[in-house]
Copies of this chain bind each other. A is one copy, B any other.
Amino acid sequence: MKDGELDRVDRHILYYLQQDARGTSSSEIAEKLDLSASTVRTRINKLEERGVIRGYHLDIDYDLAGYPLYTKIICTAPIPERDELANEARQIRGVTAVREIMTGERNVYVNTIGRDHDDLNRISEDLDALGLEIVDEQIIRDEYVCPYHGFLDEDGIDGEE
């Protein structure tokens, strides 16, 4: 129950769920670990409660879904307001991700989708209206999310429970 400590079982669960978060059942994971399905299930619940698992997201090909314009808008926010502005940016329609950067001028990254330039202009205007200064805008060609393989074979360090 220690705060940030994940044991071997937890890490394996994260590893397998990373591959296919919807299609991988507790029983499947249990089989690989030689555990019972209910044990894996309660572990998953605990990982959710502790906040280690924040959610299960859909990976959509927005291009195929009818939104060919995928862009990254780079903004500057005053540090005291950065957190609040980033949060408000999430509510804007067409915003698919927001990243806050610790330091520097380019400290808020906003990913957006749109069908046409009107969509993008509207989003830019909305960001600007919030008080986010837009410093750059780039077209994203492709994006890949990668599983972290270290969850599986990092077992040099462990031994705790």
Report which of B53, B94, B101 forms a contact with A60, defined as CB distance below 8 A. B53
Main secondary structure of the interface of A (DSSP, over half): mixed
**Known A106-B138, A141-B100, A143-B99; contact A14-B64, beta-carbon cutoff 8 A:** no
Residues of chain A touching chain B, judged by Cβ–Cβ distance below 8 Å, are 3-6, 14, 17-18, 20-23, 50-61, 63-66, 72, 83, 86-87, 90, 93-104, 106, 109, 113, 138-146, 148-150
* Residues B52 and A64 in contact, CB atoms below 8 Å apart: yes
Chain B residues whose C-beta falls within 8 Å of the C-beta of A149 in the assembled complex: 93
Chain B residues whose C-beta falls within 8 Å of the C-beta of A5 in the assembled complex: 66
Extra inter-chain contacts (5) besides given A3-B64, A23-B56, CB under 8 Å: A17-B58, A57-B59, A97-B143, A99-B143, A103-B138
A29 to chain B, nearest CB (A): 12
Chain B residues whose C-beta falls within 8 Å of the C-beta of A146 in the assembled complex: 90, 95-98
**Known A65-B6, A102-B139, A138-B103; contact A14-B58, beta-carbon cutoff 8 A:** yes
